[in-house]
Structure 1
Amino acid sequence: LRASIDRKQKHQVTQQKQLQHELRINIARYLHDNLARTLTMISMHSELARMDTNSHETEQHLNNIAEAGRSAIEDLRQLVVHLINTQPSESGVGLGAWNTSSVGTSISESAKLLRDAGYRLAYTGISTDMRFPRTVETAFALALNEVTANLVKHAPPNAEVEISAIATEKSLLVVVANSCSRSENSRLSVGAGVGVDSILSRMASIGGNARFVSDTDYWQVILSIPITNEKEFIP
């Protein structure tokens, strides 16, 4: 009887894993066949429009759109590969484990995006050679992406933005601050959106934290990455 129950439980576990794997493959195919195609079309039309314009400023904006589209396609490609090739039992390591950028590279990429979007940027970067464990870099990259997206959505045009990184004995602090008008600031109450919850969750998953400070004319996010082992922090 015990052997029969054990076999039945193992069969159920195997079936569940197979269903999860098939679901991941179906999601991957949907992303590849639908979203990737749409992003490709956006990028292509941006390139065509760029060739037809005589305005340097418009050309630059269209070039940024095309570049963003190509970058999104590459991110999506890596996600599709990750979904297809990663077994369900290994999925715990990957809330986007396809990301391999260092913390410094992630910050530099966000700074470039903000500068290209027209923000007045003061940027104090860190070495792109500084490496943390992959799960830490991934969680930080996703949290910083959310911070950057929220800034672009809510900060007024040509706002002043400052990004800085400070290494302490126990943590690396990454500070993103931007100016905002009174009308814009009313939309940025702490904890009001899904984005803030996502940032908090990402940072908590690696033993770090996120703090938010707002006033009538500025908004600030402080992401703290713990330094738990000297081998995990390579300047």
Structure 2
Amino acid sequence: MKRKIYPLEHIEKYLMIDVFVIIVLVFNVFFKKDTIHWGIKVGFLLLFVASYYVGLWYRDWRLLVASLVGFSLLLTFGIYAGNWVLLYGFVFADLLGRAHRMAIMIVGMAGIIAMFVLFSWINAGSPFAFISTLELLFMVAQLVVPVVVYTRGKANILKEKLAVANAQLERYIQEEERNRIARDLHDTLGQTLTMIKLKSELTMRLVEKNPEKAKHELHDILNTSRYALKQVRELVTDMKFISLKKEMELSKDILQNAGIELVVKDEGAMLPLSNVAETMLALSVREAITNIIKHSLADQCTITPYVETEYYCIQVSDNGHGNLRQGEGNGLHTMKERMTMLQGDMYMMASPGQGTVITLKVPLISNGRV
């Protein structure tokens, strides 16, 4: 998969702050009066940015190593440049709060304490001389930051998990409702249509032999057809309509919570679909999105609606590992059944290491509806 320059999930909140902090650090390093050689300053800045960049991308032991290296750099450079350098410990304190394990955060916080104690020891001759200065406030603040960030991150994760669980529960309930309606279609409407078929075959045989009897059978077929139409209306009324547009909006939120970017390519206006067709398409898109979250390990999903000859198509693709296989309990069979019910089709193309593409197709008719 592609490696981005900056974590996508942090761009909105942190990018401008990080750029500002680096610019201010560069300014202070080069424009504050001191006797430090410019080559040492450049080396300090490069190592600092490298440590920060490693900590920005990783949440495991590499974050801890990067933070400890960063604190060591600040301590060393601060001995010659002044205690203002220690303020940049906030950069790594914030990163420590994003660690996956509390142990990493605690060891990193010990590094913050060590940085201030050693600085005080070297500069003032006592490891605790900083207690009577503003450096104590800086240290306490840097110790509080990772705790606050860690707690807030855990709360956000729980909130996201709850939102995903609620969405999945809602989808499960709606799916059960779809299954109930499908059973009703089979048990009621299927029986009625079978009766119409049998009576039609009987009428064809009676047309020449017994026209009066055939006429009577035609009246029965007409009444049975009206009853079938009434059954369809009742079932459609029971079926809660699901908007394809709203389903895509919901999918964007769920994918974002899972750390996956959604791109919707609008290749022309969406054609008007019947409520049943749009609902079935929306449910199939939902199933495809669920598969991406559960199985793909992707960081990007693309939905592309388009028209192909006599079909309205929706293509759902991802850039994951591409190891999805049909018939393994991943809902592909259900999607195909829905499309078949609409006289459409569903097919999948999976390329290991390149991702999976699922295409949903429903037929168009002359008036632009399915």
TM-score, reference length from structure 1: 0.58
Task: Output aligned runs, 1:83-232, within 5 Å.
Answer: 89=188, 90=231, 98-125=239-266, 131-156=272-297, 159-181=299-321, 185-186=322-323, 188-193=324-329, 195-217=331-353, 218-230=355-367, 232=369
1:65–1:159 CA distance, 2 compared to 1 (3 A): same
1:100–1:189 CA distance, 2 compared to 1 (3 A): same
Q: Write out per-residue CA displacement over residues 12-71 of structure 1, whole angstroms, 9 at most, x where no aligned residue.
A: xxxxxxxxxxxxxxxxxxxxxxxxxxxxxxxxxxxxxxxx99644433333333334444
1:66 alignment partner in structure 2? 162
SS at match of 2:239: coil
Shift of 1:145: 1.9
SS at match of 1:232: coil
1:173 and 1:124 map into 2 onto residues whose CA distance is: 12
1:108 and 1:53 map into 2 onto residues whose CA distance is: 29
Mapped contact 1:104–1:128 kept (Cα < 8 A): no
Q: Write out per-residue CA displacement over residues 72-121 of structure 1, whole angstroms, 9 at most, x where no aligned residue.
A: 565638967x969x897448985996331222222332233212211133
Mapped contact 1:176–1:221 kept (Cα < 8 A): yes
Shift of 1:149: 1.5
Q: Which has the higher contact order (CA 8 A, sep 6+)?
A: 1
1:35 alignment partner in structure 2? none
1:72–1:135 CA distance, 2 compared to 1 (3 A): same
Question: Higher helix share goes to which structure?
Answer: 2
Of 200-209 and 112-121, deviating more is: 112-121
1:142 and 1:153 map into 2 onto residues whose CA distance is: 16
Shift of 1:219: 0.9
Shift of 1:163: 1.6
1:65 and 1:141 map into 2 onto residues whose CA distance is: 23
Task: Output aligned runs, 1:39-54, within 5 Å.
Answer: none
1:83–1:195 CA distance, 2 compared to 1 (3 A): closer
1:211–1:83 CA distance, 2 compared to 1 (3 A): closer
Of 222-231 and 209-218, deviating more is: 222-231
Task: Output aligned runs, 1:72-87, within 5 Å.
Answer: 76=173
Asked which structure has the greater CA Rg, the reply is 2
Amino acid at match of 2:155: E
RMSD: 3.9
1:92–1:59 CA distance, 2 compared to 1 (3 A): farther
SS at match of 2:282: helix
TM-score, reference length from structure 2: 0.39
1:73–1:194 CA distance, 2 compared to 1 (3 A): closer
SS at match of 1:175: strand
1:73–1:230 CA distance, 2 compared to 1 (3 A): same
SS at match of 2:305: strand
1:73–1:150 CA distance, 2 compared to 1 (3 A): closer
1:107 and 1:94 map into 2 onto residues whose CA distance is: 25
Unaligned residue ranges in structure 2 (runs of 5+): 1-147, 189-230
Of 53-62 and 194-203, deviating more is: 53-62
How many residues align? The count is: 175
1:161 and 1:104 map into 2 onto residues whose CA distance is: 16
SS at match of 1:176: strand
Shift of 1:168: 4.0
1:162 and 1:78 map into 2 onto residues whose CA distance is: 24
Mapped contact 1:213–1:219 kept (Cα < 8 A): yes
Mapped contact 2:336–2:345 kept (Cα < 8 A): yes
